[in-house]
Amino acid sequence: MDGAAWPQVREDLASTRKSAAAFLDNLEGASRSMGPREWATRWISISAAHESLGDTNRTLGYRNEAASAWLCALTTWEVAKRLLNLDSSDDEEVAARIDATVWKFHSLEQKIQHVKIECYDHYEIAALYLSGRSANTPAVICISGDGETATMLLGRLLPVVVDRGISVLVVTHDEVSRRQRGESDMLLSACLDYLSARSDVDARRIGVYGDGISAALATDFAASDRRVAAAVCDGGLWNWARMTASINWLATAAKEPNEKMMSAYRSRCLRQLKCPALVVAGGRGIVSLSEAIELERDVEGTGPVDLQLPIPRLARAPVAQVENFVTSDDRIFSWLIDKLQSHPAL
């Protein structure tokens, strides 16, 4: 593929996402002709064109076309943002454009709500709710990565979840993680209570997705609340790594932890999960490829555990690797929708 010939403005969302995925898969080759900053500039231009097309279509009264163009823009803005991060460039302007595009889409579809979820001791969680637009839909609690706003995560996920018959409640990592041990689970359970009380959500089919470091929060929550029907999480590996580091520091041990002990701990974590689990290895996640392989081995001796370990496609660039978020997000939510449709919580 000739890197100089793409990306281009695509007419529909499927083509735009296919183009973005192809670019990210071939980033190493594309980097030979231009650096991340130059490619980011090109993707910013593509994004602005999609956004402008959406604005024009809205003015002309073409609502569906406007919505499609803005969803295309959200995908391409995300590509630009990741390229700027790769180049250590300031992405505040792109982040602001993503935020603006999300609310343009909302102004047209009227599907996104700012909600306040009451927890305990008068503590409230601010969240964004995207309705699946029909009664008794499955729903997913989505927890953003560290330092990421709810709007930024929703902007990335909107092109994936819109019109797929699923509702999402997006909360930030900071809202639910700055608590003592066990409190994060209580806050997320309050989010599940909120969804269960909604008339448009099926309370038996609510899952959780933790992005980045929030995958550890998703594991703890799924283990503590049996109502969770499916979890995209870390399988307990982050907590194990922290505990091992603490033990080694206290004991000033130079040797590696006992493998049998590690395997037993991982197996115990898996048994605590009573719902299907998806552990994404590599990329922006907190589970390394080697840990995923070890976890997969442990699953074999754990008994009937519904666990999948997909490995995202990574593109090499001159200074780092970039996850193909298009392929990864599509896979994650296809898995969630499948599990929430076929494995309702008891």
- Give domain limits for the chain: 3-108, 111-342
Instruction: Please classify residue 129 by burial: count the beta carbons closer than 10 Å to its beta carbon, then call 0-12 exposed, 13-18 middle and 19+ buried.
Output: buried
Topology annotation, domain 111-342: Rossmann fold (3.40.50)
pLDDT attached to residue 5: 46
Q: 230-233 and 201-210: which strand pairing?
A: parallel
Question: Which backbone phi and psi does 128 adopt, to 5 degrees?
Answer: -115, 135
The model's pTM is: 0.86
The per-residue pLDDT for range 127-170, each reduced to its tens digit, is 999 998 778 899 999 999 988 999 999 999 999 999 899 999 99
Q: Give the separation between CA 243 and CA 238, rounded to whole angstroms.
A: 9
The pair of three-digit structure tokens given for residue 47, joined into one six-digit string: 């994004």
Q: For residues 150 and 128, is the Cβ–Cβ distance under 8 A?
A: yes
The per-residue pLDDT for range 275-301, each reduced to its tens digit, is 998 987 765 665 666 666 666 666 665
Where does 210-324 have alpha helices with state H? 215-224, 237-251, 259-272, 289-300
Q: Is pLDDT above 60 for 257?
A: no
Of these ranges, 84-88, 145-149, 166-170, 218-222, the one predicted with the greatest mean pLDDT is: 166-170
In whole angstroms, how far apart are CA 216 and each of 153, 176, 333, 334?
17, 12, 18, 21
Q: Is pLDDT above 50 for 254?
A: no
| Structure confidence at residue 108 as a pLDDT band (50, 70, 90) | confident
| Structure confidence at residue 343 as a pLDDT band (50, 70, 90) | low
Of these ranges, 47-51, 90-94, 249-253, 277-281, the one predicted with the greatest mean pLDDT is: 47-51
pLDDT attached to residue 7: 61
The mean of the pLDDT values for the chain is 82
